[in-house]
Amino acid sequence: MFSSALLAFCVTATACASSDTQPAAVAEVTVDANESSNADGLQYGDSLDALSDKNAPAAKTANLTQPGFDAVEWEDLISPGFSSDQVLARYEDRLAAVEPGSPDLDALYDEMNAEYDNASVNQQLNSVDIQLAGFVAPLTFDGDGITEFLLVPYFGACIHVPPPPPNQTVIVTLNEGDSLTIEESWGAVWVAGNMTVTSQETDLATAGYSISAAHFGVYENQ
């Protein structure tokens, strides 16, 4: 699934010299304008950057890192040297040298996609106590409460827009008795816990990381 997303990203980046690291396939998904946003005005495919001004004092206070945990960003989960921008940079000269629409260009995109898809998770995060904010793709419910979910970097991932790659997907299991409400899951959340580098298949996507017995809270935008 993400191979096609990277291919679309590469086409867009080559034509427009974009530096956006979000999968361009997100922008290709057509949704009803009346159903594509939440109470915070997020559109499907939006990242945390679209949620709030990171410099807002109230947001900084509400989202303080929990004691004993290291704050990480989504780019920290990508194996060094394998972000979309870095993969694209290694192919820019070859992309410029081939004719648009040619079989050689298709073969080059296949090579780029394979390099991105084969990028591993960041092993340096294994067994590290981290805190990470993102969006929820529910997996398991206890009544109306969500007890297990995928934490993903952009709103609507795995459900309304294509899933991110495994190194941008974390499967989160809450403590017994804890659950996330549907209302809470409709916005951004933060989770804190011991991260394990693992590969787990789910009905929605493959997760490259897991956090069990996670602490969690609503990510405040103001």
Contact indicator for 31, 106 with CB cutoff of 8 Å: no
- Other C-beta atoms closer than 10 Å to the C-beta of 121 total 22
8-state DSSP, 102: S
* pLDDT digit string (tens) for the chain, length 222 residues: 333 334 334 433 333 333 333 333 322 333 343 445 555 677 888 888 877 544 455 555 457 889 999 999 999 999 888 888 888 999 999 999 999 999 999 999 999 888 877 777 999 999 999 999 999 999 999 999 999 999 999 998 888 888 888 999 999 999 999 999 999 998 899 999 999 999 999 999 999 999 999 999 998 764
- Other C-beta atoms closer than 10 Å to the C-beta of 146 total 23
Domain spanning 60-76+122-218, CATH class = mainly beta
What are the extents of the domains in the chain? 1-30+80-119, 60-76+122-218
CA distance 39 to 220: 13
8-state DSSP, 138: E
pTM exceeds 0.85, yes or no: no
Nearest in space to 66 (alpha carbons), one of 208, 198, 219: 219
**Across the chain, where does the E strand assignment appear?**
70-71, 128-142, 145-152, 170-174, 188-201, 206-218
- Per-residue buried b or exposed e for 163-187, using 16+ beta carbons within 10 Å of the residue's own CB: bbbbbbbbbbbbeeeebbeeebbeb
In order, the DSSP letters of 197-211 are EEEEE-SS-EEEEEE
